[in-house]
Chains A and B, each alone.
Chain A
């Protein structure tokens, strides 16, 4: 079974600065998807960014980018120019790419990192 580990329960950053959230995972599969979700106090999980394991290029979405190290099974999220609205819980998640016999419909989440943005 796959596991996802977020070793930073809490992080803080000054507004306009950069912060990196860490995530490691364990899997024996060669093809999979990795996600970062944001969960504000409203509770709704919002997709921040997605990475496909077979793509070597790191995904980028505006101020959000990832550092995907497949051999090290590491998937960190970098938030540049942090804004007050970035404050939330951030969850790293794994999803298999394989169909029958694989749980490609199931997301496995880490425990989350609470990000505080200081004005």
Chain B
């Protein structure tokens, strides 16, 4: 597509529930990234995919968070047993390659609210 698409735009859930956030990157972009932006903060790195594999998942806060990209295109961020502290905007970005010079294109994010 023309840009990075993220769904849902907003998600409200109850503590303890499971949520999935979807990212559809720009066609042909092999690198995909997830960032989390808490209120009043800049985005923080969660995970980076090169193709189908997670090349770096060091930013995932704990084992309740998991992400997949099975066909090297669409990615899903999965959060189990959600907690109120998980409330944030989850941003997805993609780039043609993952080298420093490559510019990331961001989606509009998914705002997650855990009640």
Contacts and interface: CB of A to CB of B under 8 A. Distances in A.
Interface in A67-118: 91, 93, 95-99, 103-112
Contacts of A46: 106
B40 A111 contact: yes
Contacts of A50: 103
A43 B100 contact: no
B56 interface: yes
Contact of B100 (A44, A45, A97, A111): A97
A33 to B, nearest CB: 5
B68 to A, nearest CB: 18
A45 B107 CA distance: 7
Given A43-B109, A44-B107, A45-B106, A98 B42 contact: no
B99 interface: yes
A104 B103 contact: no
Interface string B35-46: 100001111110
B91 A45 contact: yes
A16 interface: no
Contacts of B42: 4, 91, 93, 109-112
Contacts of A37: 106
A43 B9 CA distance: 10
B112 interface: no
B101 interface: yes
B55 interface: yes
Interface of B: 31, 33, 35, 40-45, 48, 50, 55-56, 89, 91, 93, 98-101, 103-104, 106-109, 111
Interface of A: 4, 32-33, 37, 42-47, 50, 52, 91, 93, 95-99, 103-112
Given A4-B42, A105-B98, 13 more contacts: A32-B100, A33-B101, A43-B91, A43-B111, A44-B109, A45-B43, A47-B104, A50-B103, A99-B99, A104-B100, A106-B56, A107-B35, A111-B41
